[in-house]
Structures are given as structure tokens and as C-alpha cells.
Structure 1
Amino acid sequence: MIVGKLVGTDGAPLENISVSLKKAGTGVNTEADGSFKLRAEAGVQLLHISGLGYVTQETSVEVVAGKTTTLPTTTLRINEHELAEVKIMEQRSLNQRPASISKMPIAPLDLPQAAVTIDRQVLEQQQVLRLSDALANISGLYVTSTTGGTQEELGSRGFAYGSNNTFKNGVRFNNGVMPEASSLERMEVLKGSTAILYGNVAAGGVLNLVTKKPQFERGGSVGLRVGSFGFWKPTVDVYGAVGNSQKVAFRINATAEKANSFRDKVESDRVYVNPSLLFELTPNTTLVLEGDYLRDNRTPDYGIGAIDYQIQESRTRFLNVDGANNATNQTSTTATLTNRLNDNWQIRGVAGFQRYANAQRSASRPVASAVPATYGNLTRGLQRSETNENYYLAQFDLTGKFRTGFLDHTLLLGADADQYQTTAIAYTNPDSKLTANAANTAFDIINILDPNKVIAQPKERLTGFQDLVRNTYTKGNTRRAGFYVQDLLSVTEKIKVLAGLRWSYQETPSDVYYYNTFVNRNTKPAPVAGTLVNNRRYDNAFSPRLGVVFQPVKTTALFASYSNSFTPNTGFDLEGKSLAPSLIDQYEVGIKNDLFKGALSANITAYRIVNSNQSQSILPTDPRFGTSRTPSPQELAGQVTSKGVEVDVQSKPVNGWSVITGYSYNNTAYTNSNIYENGSRLRYNPAHTANLSLFYNFSSTFGNNTFLRGLSAGFTTYYVGDKLAGRNPRLLDPATGLAWKTADANKFITIPNYTQFDASLGYSYERVSLRVKLANILNELSYNMHDDNSVNPIAPRNFSATASYRL
């Protein structure tokens, strides 16, 4: 036996240093106190001692049979010629990196569905601040609106990404507030139907935000970002082992943000903290605990207004009242337990909780008037609301690989259950009657075109938010559950089949209480006779999936797939029964390529999505209307069709260059409607988008010993074209079933096309880095809109700079 101890030049013990017998090839690592014990055969042995960052030593030791040879304490010197920094870059292509949102350990090349992953290096290189900044990397994913300027609503393939379609670490995320981008490790987008995996999701796809994880190696960074319009944002990211543990690691991301705006009177401030812990319970079992806290306060901003469905061009016009505020607090925690049973099988359990609370005080939205009789005069009312939501999730997945006969299987078995507990309080004018649609009285009158214009004010009006009293108290308690199975069968090396089925159940109770506004103005709800409205819905649906992948060569895959999803409806049929969910069929074909030995991935996808049983009103002119047991009967007889093409191209870093580019075309329209013209496009969905990001790292050309080695530069451009808002013109009045008397009662609003061009420059030296960015260099003007309100201009040309220090 050979025993000894290793210390550094400061006398401190050295842990995890390799000590081995050079001839035999066997060895051990030193313990926490620097000691080691090594069995050896009798005779002269050559001892090899090495550790990262230290000078390697070799020494001869004479070992006597049956005795322990004790070596004197050995001091290792630091290797001054060790590389100052080693960067390990992602070397798998876009089609080789599995996305955790797919729940299966298969490469995207084997998946009959379009998928895109954007890693942290790209997000940092482009200095992404909001999710909308990252859209320049993903074709067909776009901003639909920014209602009130408090959130970014996304869409894809003609369908909105609501909270059901937005995830963080695999758990649904309430997108009523802008998520924090500085904590992201990557963004994952699974396009098309994912109902088999997640149940009630829209047909366009899902977005998963993956946060940075704990590491046992100590490190981190601190930074400060400043920019136009009084923007500043300090950040900190610290990670490492807890103490000297090899079993527990931590990470803490935190940031604060404060800014004014290019918009008059608009300001914001927010605080974000993202702590996480990693436990290696056994060599095959890990537990990750992740927390998330976000406090976001900002001025609600419903934009510049419109007159007769015409945008009154401006970038700065502010139409809200003084004192308007939108305050959101969001807290969440997630526990993920993963156990690798063997090389082929793994189980994974996820438990999540999220608390969302929002309080808003604002003027009512400036809705576009059908007839411009007031010449820009706008009567502002006041509105106030409070929303609270508790969300619970439990999910279990079993994945494994096995073989039956000539078939290789990659199997997923899973179950999930979640619950939304929501409460919402709406306020109204105390003089209003006790009805669900009690209107607010006026606060004042301004002019959209000339805010300084003096206008006679209403004689009786609210003096402030303190005059509003509680009107309704709504309780919701949505409960969902699902069971699913999915199998990827490798029929041959070139042919794969993905088949699966999910059953989903959803229960949606809702209770509405009306306050006695004349007695209990600001107390708990006081339901009186006839003031409670109950609504109960019970829905279930099957979601099948079938896809075929053909790989003529290992780097190319052609695929075709069918899947469907469902959307619960809220209406009632002729007999007063609740409408069944609408089932949405989706067909997708495409080709995925890894070109130039995997240096470039180029994918093309074409899709057709058909909701052939969309809910629509039965008109009063319909003979069946007179036999209806419900006052507003509906039926599943409408149809909406979405079709399009998407192109995604992404490269690995090659000779310093990296490129991401893409293009999408989409047409989503009514194809069978009793109110709207067939072929009439749905709003918010751009017909065309295009994106290009090109960056160059000078170190690959100029080596490691020049001033330019830390320099990088690049640009990002994003085009959005042919987009509509406003309200779809109707052929018939749904209230009467007759033709509109006024042809222009509803109108589209055409949103200007635009191309946003951003340029970035970065420089790193040892532990310090500096990045600068000039956004919207061309100073393009366009808008994000919701219906005929929330006409929110995009930001003008602006500047930002980020300085950071690596710990």
C-alpha cells in the first residue's frame, strides 16, 4: 500500500487530484484532506500525479510486500502555462439537439414535426432583452399584440400562444406578464400540434423557456445594461457546489430593471430572482428544485388610438390617465426528479406551483369609432380589476428503448394533471345597476389629435379610481387530466413511424357573484337572491398522432404527419346543452437536412390546419332558431383553415461565422362561415415573415495573441409584412340574421409592413466583456394591435450597452 498527501503551495490540501501507477494504469483521486491510498505490487513503481491547473509530477516509489509505504507530503505547483479560458461550444446541429419539450430522447431529425432550439450563446450574442427580440431566430413565430403594453402575445400558424401554450421548464407559464430573458439557457419551439403531450393547447405550437441550471464548478458573472430612455438593468448570476459538496449544487440569477419609454408618461420597474438547487441523490437519480419570483410594475399603455379604423400616426401620443398602473407579482416553484433505471429506461416526475396576482387601474381602451363624428374627441372612462391565480401541476413520464422482432422502439408513457384556481374582481361606478355589464361613467374628455385642446367635461363624472366599487367576484377552478402513449418505431434504418394517442379530461366550473354595491362597497362579496351565476362544463377528447419519417441518407429526413388538437367551447346548442370541443386536424410535410458535414441545418415544412367544426351562432333567420331552448344557440358548423410554409436554416460556428435565417408564409381564413365572407383572413397573423442573423468572431482568424481575439460583430434583421387588425367585416348581423344596414360597421385596419435592422458589437478581454447594440437602425414605424384598440407603436432607433465581469 502507498499512502500520502498532496497540498498546494499555500499548504492547503488538494482534493480530486489524480494519483496513478503509470505501468499498471490504476489509480485514485485524493480526498477532501488531500490524502490518498493506493494498492500496488511489490517492487519499484512509478507514481504519476496530475490535476487540471497543476504541474504534473512523477516519482519512483519502492513498495515492500506486506508493508505500507508512507510518502512525505507532496506540494504541487500551479501550472502558469495553463490556458486562461477554455470554451466548450455546442457542436450538435439544429437537427441533432433533442428538445426537452418533446419529452422523448430522440433527435429532431427523427421527429415528424418542425422544431427549433435557440441556445444561450445566441441570446447573449444578440443581447436579447424580451422574447420579441428572439423572434428573429424562429420562422413563423410572431407578436400578435402587446395589449396595454404589459405583455407580449405571441402567435404561430394563425393561432395565439396563450398561457396554455407557454411553458417554463416544462410547466405552464402565465404569459400575462413579460417573462425574464436574462435567466434563459435556451428557448425551445415545437411547431404544430402538441396536444398529445400537453392536452388543451392551441394548434400553432408551444414555446418552452429553459432557465440556467446549477453547476458544481464555481463561477458566475455580474453585469450592468444601460440604454436609451433611461433604461438600466443590473444582473448577477452565481453558481457552484454548496460548500465542498459533490452532491449538492446551486445557482442564483437575479436582476432589477427600471426604465422610462419613448412613449410619453410611460415607465416601468421590475425585480426578478431565480434560485435553483441540484441534488445528486444517487449516481442515477437527480432532483432539481427551481424557484422564480417576478415583480413587474408598469404604466398600462393602450397606444395612440384610431379614428374610423384609421391609425393616427404617432410614436409618443399617450391616452391614459395620470396614476394608471399595472402591478403584477408572479411566484413559481418546480421540482423535477429524474431516475435512470438503466441505460435504456428512465422515469421523470415533475411537480409545479405558480402564483399569479395582478392589479390594474387604467382608463378604458380608446376603441376606434365606426363614424368619426366626434373629430377625435375621446371620452375616457375608468376601469379597475384584480386577478389572482394559483396553478398546480403533477406530471409523470416513463421513457425507454427496447426491441421486438425487427422493430426498435422508443416509448413514452405518461400522465399529467393540473388545476387553475382563479379569482377575479371587477369594479364599477357605484351608481350603476347590479348587472354584469354595468358601465363606468366618464372620467373626462380629451382629443386624440390635440391633447391640449380644451373640451367641456361631463357634468357628472368620476373623480378618480377611489370612486369605483366592487361589482363582480368570479371564481374559477379548472381541473384537467390526461394519459398518453407515444412510440417511435424504427422499421428499418431509413424508415421510422411515430404513433401515439392521448385522452384528455377537462372540468371548468365558474361562479359569478354580484356585490351589493349600495351596501358593501369594498368588503367581501355579498351575494343576494338571484345574484349568483353558475357555469359548469365537462369536456373530454382523444388526440391521435401518426407520422412517418424516411431517411434516404443519414443526414436527410423527409416526413409526413397527421395530428389533431381540441378547443373547448363556451356556448350552448339548440337544446341548451353545452357544445362539445372543436377538433382541429393538422397535416404537415417537410424535409430536414444536415449539410456540409453537419455545419448547416436547412429545414422546410408545409402545413394545413383545419377547424371544420368551429363554433358559430345560429342566426334568428334560421328556421331552427324558433325551436331553441337557449336564447343564443350555437352549432359546430363553421370552418377556419390555416395553411403555410416555413423555412429554418441554422449553422454551427464555422471559421468564426454563424448564421440563422428563415422565412414563413401563412394564410389563415374563414372557409365556411354564416357571418363572415369566405376567404376573409383572420387578424393578427402576418402573411410573410423573414429573418436573418449573421455574426463573426474574430478570434478564429486572428488567433489568441492579438488584440482582435476577443472581438465579435454581427447584425440581425427581421421582416413582418401584410398584417391586419381592426374587426372582420360581417356580411350579416348575428343579432338579426339580416344584412348590415351600414356597410362599414366593422373594418380591417392594415398594419404597415416593416423591416427591423439591429447591429451588435462585442469585445471580451480576460474576465471583462462589453457589448453594444443599436436597434431599429432604419427607424421603422409600425404597430402591434389588438382588435381596434391597443395601437402600440414599435420602439424607434435606440441604443444599449452591457458591461459584465466573469467571476
Structure 2
Amino acid sequence: MLRSPFRLLVFLTVFIVPTSGWAQVAEGLIKGNLLNTKGQPLENISVSLKKAGMGVNTAEDGSFQLRAGAGSQLLHISGLGYITQELTVDVVAGKTTTVPALTLAINPHQLSEVTVTETRTNNQRPTSISKLPIASLDLPQSAVTIERQVLEQQQVLRLSDALVNVSGLYVTSTTGGIQEELGSRGFAYGSNNTFKNGVRFNNGVMPEASALERMEVLKGSTAILYGNVAAGGVLNLVTKKPQFERGGSVGLRVGSYGFFKPMVDVYGAIGSSEKAAFRLNGSYEQSNSFRDEVQAKRVYVNPSLLFELTPKTTLVLEGDLLRDNRTPDFGIGAINYEIQPSRSRFLNVAGARNQTTQTSATATLTSRLTDIWQVRAVGGYQRYDNELRSATRPVASGVAATYGNLTRGLQRTETGENYFLAQLDLTGKLRTGRLEHTLLLGADADQYQTTTLAYNNPASPTKANTAISTFDIINILDRSKIIAQPAERLNGFEDLVRHTLTQGNTRRAGFYAQDLLSLSEKVKVLAGLRWSYQETPSDVYYYNTVLNTNNKVAGTFQDNRRFDQAFSPRVGVVYQPIKTTALFASYANSFQPNAGQDANGASLAPSTFDQYEVGVKNDLFHGLLSANVTAYRIVNDNLAQTYLGLLTGADGKTAPNLNTNIKELAGQVTSKGVEVDVQSKPMLGWTVITGYSYNHTAYTRSNIYENGSRLRYNPAHTANLSLFYNFGNAFGNSTFLRGLTAGLTTYYVGDKMAGRNTRQYDPLTGKPFVDASGNPTTDAFKLISIPNYTLFDASLGYTYQRYSVRVKLANILNELSYNLHDDNSVNPIAPRTFSATASYRL
């Protein structure tokens, strides 16, 4: 069953051999400079060999140098908003040919005809999420960037559509069908690990993909940069930015199950200004679903402004508004931890809804102090509001195993969140003797203000100390089956009563420094340290105490306070035997605050994670292909787990601990794995993205769970392959086929589990589970094996002048599998679907 991923791994690792031993082609060097009409150097202009398709971007001073085979070569020079030029150069083997300085003229009227292709490889491009102005090749850490061209070719609608391009980044679950929860290297991302334009955003709602310029993934430890983040890595979504050249597009996407989505994107200078520009993205979406009774509507607006305050200082203001209203859908249910196959079975109640509004504003001020020093300041604000009205989740153990009867209750919550961020980074270079330093000095502070209003079941008018908890009873296998209903029932959501109002006010701050030290042309060392402080006050107000196991009195406050601080060191070594190959090894430490208290009543210290990573990054075939392999090991050696010792009461007597909030830092979780990422630049019309990941994350020491048992939600294997072909390269520029493109994407997920890990400890008695004979045993919890699946998507696109049409067929084989959260949200993946997008460039 796993042969295909391993064959792919063997095939990909062939690319790891450096090309220095391959047969060499007679080459020469082409050098030159590009200027604008004012005689100023042009940076980031593409200069490529038209026949080979490979090239470079001009440096800050407008210079470029490009290796090419001996003989006559045609240079293709293009930049957004400039007239494209082509120049024939005679290259002499072993010699340098200097091209006279070239001047590019602005041509905003023909902007729609300019095609810009990123000529740098994935390893040559810096990522903004790493905060250092260095190429990925110099970074002792795995990093992947997916550009807008790929997102458009794949017609990405949701974030999960884009994740198939990154090995080891996956959807862990889709709880309630209202979000896509992500994970990497055995650890969940959560809102702490997801960023938009460098600012954290609440991932409780699916972000809008149509506004993305690129997606950046920095794998492994990033605690030195961002403080309290999970160990697997971070994801940064970069939205489209303002431009001074006028342009844009309008489009309409339609698809299966009544999907309908108009889109607009316009940009340009504000009036005739050369100092201020704008951009406005927007979309409206509505759809039904392959799931019975499920519907969704969403509105998205993304305005942004760019101001050139001085020749060296820019200010970017960005806003976001997303309103998402959809039917909460906890899936098809499970019986005794076994999935009952279905795609359409719907178990929620009429009138269920999940409404989310997310707004944000970000200001980014960037100033180049000198040619080599830059300061960047970011201020961000986000507001998140959510209201959920739904049936309670269909827990596997709560479904009658014999008959499939499910007792449905109701749940209702209202959540609000204000998030504030301030961040300051100083980057630059300096020399001390023969050593070169690339420095990052930074500080950040953020604050979460959260309120959560939870509703509870009302008290029974006839039975003391009893709540009415049942809405109705249904049969999940036969919805037409008539079942006797209880005498006292909930009539609807308005019957639920306010229970608790929880107010949080988390405040965090951090200071960090990193230095990329170049010991020689081949050896570099990255070292850094961060100090983080976190304060987490929380107040709980109790409105209602029916069936409240904490015995709280209605109308009272419970005040909670905790303070944490931690140091996060990082060190890595990069060795580059040749300029296109880098071997690296790194160590980093991260932390995770813990809730609860120890046996003495003190707050628990944070858990820490030691991360070790080794790998090789390679640019092959003169930069046409980037092939990277990484191996890692992550150890949480002080995992918080329930304290199983005896507690001494006020009367001096000892008894087993029955409070799961009393914990000890004595467990251990270990994650280890391998990741392969391969990307190509366009070559003869072809582009390729492929990869493979293996991960094993398990409890390696625990008094609760069986040692060696795997953590849920993490697939042991993922594999991906995307092929795109541009027919215009083969048929020339004068044919009707020049605008035709085709693509195929496949994605494999294997050996993934959900459900619940079996426990050796009984929280009701504070003692280990034993059978009737007194022998150690476990509880009734079980893990659920999720069926392996392989998705195949195919797409076609055609562009003629300003018009374009793209069609996509997803899940061609109609594979059936599921995303699970615990055993109570069993959500089927989408079946075979069709979509088409028509657009017009302004």
C-alpha cells in the first residue's frame, strides 16, 4: 500500500547529488546594467535566456550577470510596467561579455501584455516570514514559498488546495466544517502559528485565498522569531500589494453544487500621484454542498494603500473584512469508533448556523537607513466575532452501537476577540575583521482580549438538580425511523441559558537577536536568542450552575492569573561545497505555556521542545530545479500530564488525585521524520512541484497513554506531484495555442488516525485501570484509522488578449475519505467536482 510514496522518495533523492560531477557545457558570462529613463538603476527586473528559459533578476544597483552556453543567445528582459526588450548576445566560452547599459521605458498602457516570471529558485528567494534578508540557501531550516502563478494555475479556492504543494504540511481536521485546522511535523498550528502579512490571525474561519500573492512556510522551530508557537512551523499568507501601474481584473467562478463567486481586483496610482497607490480585492461567495442541508455565504474585502513617504521610506496600510455564514456540520457520526461510510448524511438540527466576522488593519513602515541597514515597524489590529448555534457533537461512544440511535442536545456560544500587535525589526550587515555579519535585532508585543459566553441546559421544572439536555433522538443509519422522545425536551436554542462569561487578556512581549556569521564563502553559522514573557489573566463569571461539577455559585467571579517567561536559543551551521548546494544542521528550543497547577498549588511551568534538523538544499541543472531534503527530531521532554500521586487534604489524610487540572511535567512526546521538496522553474513550457513526507509522532513516556502510541491527526505519509504545461512554448507566439495551459495535481495521504488514544489511568478513581482479575488494562477509548486516499485534479486554461477561462475537475477518481476531530466530527472529503472561472483583465 505504501510502495508508491517510497518509490517517489527514491526517485527524488537522486536529485540530491550535486551537479559538479556532471558533464560540463562550454559557457561564458553575460554582464550588464539596466536603467530607467531617468538614469536610475532598476532592481528586480527579469533577465533570462529565452531559449533555455533560465535567468536572474537585477540587483539593487541594476546589475546582472548570467551564465550561458557559448554561441548566439537571445536575452529576454521584462519588468512589470516596462516595455519588454530582447537582445542578441554572442557568448564566448570562458570569457565575459559585457552588455552596454540598457534603458527600459515605462509602458503602463500595455501592462496587461507583460508576463512576469520569478527567475530565482525557491532556494535563492528570501522569505519575509524568516525576517532575515538572506536567501533560503543560507538558512539552516526548511522553507517553501508558493507563488501566485501556482495558486492561479491550480485554481486554489481554500487553503487546503494550496497545502498540496508543501510536503509535511497537512489538514489535521475540519471541525464542524467551518475551518481547516493545520498541522506539521506532528503538531497542530493553531492561531499562534498562522500569519497574514506577518501578523497573527484567528484561523477559526477559513481565510480567503483569492487575495493571495504567495504562501510562505517556515518549517520547524520559529520560537526565536515569534515566541509562543507550536513546534511544527509557521505559515504566512501574503496578500496582493498596491501598484502604481493601473490594472486589475474582474472574474466569475462557478462550480458544482450551486457554487457562485464573482471577484474583483483593481489597482493603480491614486490620481496622477507618483507617491501613492491603492489596491482593492473583493469577492462574494455562495454555495450549497454535497452534504445534505449545508449552505454557505461569505463576503470578502481587502483594501490596501501604499505611500512612498521618502525615496527610502514606504508605508503600506492594509485592511481585511471577512463575513462568513455557514451551516455547522459535524459530519456523519461514528458508532463504537467505527465510521459508517457516507458522503451526505447530515446530523445537525434545523436552524443551526455558524456566523463569523473577522476584520483587521495592518500598517507596515519600512525605511532603508543606509544601503545595508533597514528598519521595519508593524502595527496590527484584528477583531474576531463568532456565534455558534448547533446540535451537540455526535460522539462515537454516545451513539447506540446496536441500533445507531443518537441523542441530540444543543450548544450555543458567542465569542469575541481583540488582537493588537506591535513589532520592530532592524536588519543589516557589518564586518568585523574578515567576518561578515547579517544581523536581526527585534522586539514585539501583542495582546489578546477575549470574551466567551457559553450557554447551558436549563433546569428541569420537575426534577431537582437535573437539567433538560435532550433536543431529540434520531437514528443516524435511518433518519425516517420513529423513536420515542423524552417527556421533557429542549424546544430550541432559546431554551438554553447563560452559563459562564470568560474574559481573557493575554499579554506577551519578546526581544530577540540573530546573527548569520559568514566564516568563509562556504561556511556560515546562524545563532540567536529570544526572551519571551507572557501574562495570562482570566476571569470567569458564573450566570448559571446547573450540573456545574466545580460547585460554583451563580453570580460569582473566579479570578485566574499566571505568568510565564522563557529563553529560546537557536544555532545552525550551513556548509556550501559549491554555490548551488548547502548542507545544514541546526538546534532550536521552543516553549508552550501550560494550564493547571502542580501538586503544591503553583502554576505549571511551560513545556519545552528541543528540535534537531539536518538537511541538504540543492539547485540543479543551472537553477532550473530546486531539490531539498530535511530530516528532523523534536522532543518534548516535560509534557504536562495529570498528577497520579496522592494529595494531602486539609484533614491531613491522603487520597488519589481526582482533579485533572492538577498536573506534573513528566511526560514525553517525540516526533521524527523526513521531508522532500522539489520545485522547478519553467523549462520548455513545463513546471514541476513534487514532494514527500514521513512523520512518526508518539508518546515515548506517559502515565496516561500507552508508550509508543501515536498522536492523532498526523499522517505518516504524504506525497504530492503537480505538473503544468504551457503550449505556447511549443507552438510559438503566432499560433492560437499560445495561451493554452494544462495542469495535473495529485496528492496522497496515508496512515492517518483520529478517535481517542486509549488511557491506562481512570480520572474518576485516580488509579490505573484494572480488569476483574486486577490485571492492568485500558479504557474503552479507541483510535480510528482514516482510509488512505489519493486525489487527482486536472485543469485547463486559455488566455486570449485580456480574456481568460480556466476549468478544473477535482478528485477525478471520486475518492472517499474523511477528516476527523476526535470521534465527534467525521467530515467526508469532497467528491468529484467541476468548476470554471472566466476573467477579464482591466
The TM tier, using the shorter chain, reads 0.7 to 0.9
Q: Which amino acid aligns with 1:772?
A: V
Q: Provide the secondary structure at the position in 1 that maps to 2:486.
A: coil
The structural deviation recorded for 1:734 is: 3.7
Q: Does 1:205 align with 2:240?
A: no
The structural deviation recorded for 1:594 is: 0.2
Question: Which residue is 1:29 aligned to?
Answer: none
Distance verdict in 2 for CA 1:457–1:638, change over 3 Å: same
Q: Which amino acid aligns with 1:732?
A: Y
**Partners in 2 of 1:666 and 1:622 — Cα distance?**
39
Question: Which residue is 1:782 aligned to?
Answer: 817
Q: Does 1:575 align with 2:600?
A: yes
> How many residues end up aligned between the 2 structures?
728
Question: Which residue is 2:123 aligned to?
Answer: 95
**TM-score normalized by the length of structure 1:** 0.87
Question: Which residue is 2:298 aligned to?
Answer: 270
Aligned residue among 730, 734, 740 for 1:705 = 734
The structural deviation recorded for 1:529 is: 7.2
Q: Which amino acid aligns with 1:163?
A: S
Q: Is the 8 A contact 1:169 1:211 kept in 2?
A: yes
Question: Which residue is 1:309 aligned to?
Answer: 337
Aligned residue among 786, 793, 811 for 1:758 = 793
Aligned residue among 254, 260, 270 for 1:226 = 254
The structural deviation recorded for 1:764 is: 0.3
Q: Does 1:666 align with 2:695?
A: yes
Deviations along 1:628-654, whole A, 9 cap, x unmatched?
999553111100000000000000011
Which sits farther off after the overlay, 330-339 or 696-705? 696-705
Q: Is the 8 A contact 2:568 2:588 kept in 1?
A: yes
Distance verdict in 2 for CA 1:131–1:629, change over 3 Å: closer
Question: Which residue is 1:130 aligned to?
Answer: 158
Q: Which amino acid aligns with 1:793?
A: P
Q: Does 1:737 align with 2:767?
A: yes
Q: Provide the secondary structure at the position in 1 that maps to 2:161.
A: helix
Question: Which residue is 1:606 aligned to?
Answer: 631
Q: Which amino acid aligns with 1:324?
A: A
Question: Which residue is 1:748 aligned to?
Answer: 783
Q: Which amino acid aligns with 1:761?
A: L
Deviations along 1:754-783, whole A, 9 cap, x unmatched?
000000000000000000000000000000
Q: Is the 8 A contact 1:733 1:740 kept in 2?
A: no
The structural deviation recorded for 1:93 is: 0.2
**Partners in 2 of 1:205 and 1:52 — Cα distance?**
38
Q: Provide the secondary structure at the position in 2 that maps to 1:137.
A: coil
Aligned residue among 561, 575, 579 for 1:554 = 579
Q: Which amino acid aligns with 2:391?
A: A
Percent identical residues: 76
Q: Is the 8 A contact 2:541 2:555 kept in 1?
A: no
Q: Is the 8 A contact 1:381 1:440 kept in 2?
A: no
Which sits farther off after the overlay, 613-622 or 214-223? 613-622
Aligned residue among 631, 641, 659 for 1:616 = 641
Q: Provide the secondary structure at the position in 1 that maps to 2:163.
A: helix
Aligned residue among 437, 448, 452 for 1:424 = 452
Q: Does 1:689 align with 2:718?
A: yes
Q: Which amino acid aligns with 2:821?
A: H
**Partners in 2 of 1:124 and 1:356 — Cα distance?**
28
Q: Does 1:653 align with 2:682?
A: yes
Q: Provide the secondary structure at the position in 1 that maps to 2:397.
A: coil
The structural deviation recorded for 1:53 is: 7.4
Deviations along 1:488-519, whole A, 9 cap, x unmatched?
0000000000000000000011111011589x
Question: Which residue is 1:63 aligned to?
Answer: none
Question: Which residue is 2:381 aligned to?
Answer: 353
Q: Provide the secondary structure at the position in 1 that maps to 2:785.
A: strand
Q: Does 1:176 align with 2:204?
A: yes
Q: Is the 8 A contact 1:574 1:627 kept in 2?
A: no
Q: Is the 8 A contact 1:370 1:744 kept in 2?
A: no
Q: Provide the secondary structure at the position in 2 that maps to 1:164.
A: helix
The structural deviation recorded for 1:714 is: 1.2
Which of 1 and 2 has greater Rg? 1
**Where does 1:237-636 land on structure 2 (aligned, <5 Å)?**
237-369=265-397, 372-373=400-401, 375-431=403-459, 441-515=469-543, 531-620=556-645, 626=654, 631-632=659-660, 633-636=662-665
The structural deviation recorded for 1:441 is: 1.1
The structural deviation recorded for 1:467 is: 1.2
**Partners in 1 of 2:211 and 2:297 — Cα distance?**
17
Q: Provide the secondary structure at the position in 2 that maps to 1:369.
A: helix
Q: Which amino acid aligns with 2:252?
A: L
Question: Which residue is 2:216 aligned to?
Answer: 188
**Partners in 1 of 2:741 and 2:111 — Cα distance?**
21
**Partners in 2 of 1:744 and 1:762 — Cα distance?**
54
Q: Is the 8 A contact 1:619 1:734 kept in 2?
A: no
Q: Give unpaired runs (5+ residues) of structure 1.
A: 1-15, 21-50, 55-77, 519-526
Q: Provide the secondary structure at the position in 2 that maps to 1:148.
A: helix
**Partners in 2 of 1:429 and 1:82 — Cα distance?**
64
The structural deviation recorded for 1:620 is: 4.8
The structural deviation recorded for 1:431 is: 1.2
The structural deviation recorded for 1:470 is: 1.1
Q: Is the 8 A contact 2:643 2:657 kept in 1?
A: no
Q: What root-mean-square deviation, in Å, do the aligned CA atoms of Structure 1 and Structure 2 show?
A: 2.4
**Partners in 2 of 1:194 and 1:420 — Cα distance?**
20
Q: Is the 8 A contact 1:574 1:628 kept in 2?
A: no
Aligned residue among 178, 191, 216 for 1:150 = 178
Q: Which amino acid aligns with 1:753?
A: N
**Partners in 2 of 1:484 and 1:740 — Cα distance?**
50
**Partners in 2 of 1:755 and 1:354 — Cα distance?**
37
Q: Which amino acid aligns with 1:749?
A: I
Deviations along 1:648-690, whole A, 9 cap, x unmatched?
0000011110000000000000000112111100000000000
The structural deviation recorded for 1:627 is: 8.2
**Partners in 2 of 1:652 and 1:155 — Cα distance?**
28
**Partners in 2 of 1:415 and 1:91 — Cα distance?**
33
Q: Provide the secondary structure at the position in 2 that maps to 1:388.
A: strand
Question: Which residue is 2:21 aligned to?
Answer: none
Q: Provide the secondary structure at the position in 2 that maps to 1:174.
A: coil
Q: Provide the secondary structure at the position in 1 that maps to 2:317.
A: strand
The structural deviation recorded for 1:731 is: 2.3
Distance verdict in 2 for CA 1:338–1:18, change over 3 Å: closer
Deviations along 1:117-159, whole A, 9 cap, x unmatched?
0000000000000000011100000000000000000000000
Q: Which amino acid aligns with 2:640?
A: S
The structural deviation recorded for 1:626 is: 3.4
**Partners in 1 of 2:112 and 2:536 — Cα distance?**
58
Distance verdict in 2 for CA 1:631–1:138, change over 3 Å: closer
**Partners in 1 of 2:647 and 2:703 — Cα distance?**
11
The structural deviation recorded for 1:216 is: 0.1
Q: Which amino acid aligns with 2:593?
A: P
Aligned residue among 118, 130, 136 for 2:146 = 118
The structural deviation recorded for 1:740 is: 4.6
The structural deviation recorded for 1:320 is: 0.1
Distance verdict in 2 for CA 1:630–1:372, change over 3 Å: closer
**Partners in 2 of 1:573 and 1:651 — Cα distance?**
52
Q: Give unpaired runs (5+ residues) of structure 2.
A: 1-34, 40-80, 85-105, 547-551, 772-776
Deviations along 1:304-359, whole A, 9 cap, x unmatched?
00000000100000000000000000000000000001111000000000000000
The structural deviation recorded for 1:456 is: 0.7
Which sits farther off after the overlay, 596-605 or 616-625? 616-625
The structural deviation recorded for 1:82 is: 8.3
Distance verdict in 2 for CA 1:53–1:310, change over 3 Å: closer
Q: Is the 8 A contact 1:268 1:298 kept in 2?
A: yes
Question: Which residue is 1:791 aligned to?
Answer: 826
**Partners in 1 of 2:310 and 2:144 — Cα distance?**
33
Distance verdict in 2 for CA 1:551–1:779, change over 3 Å: same
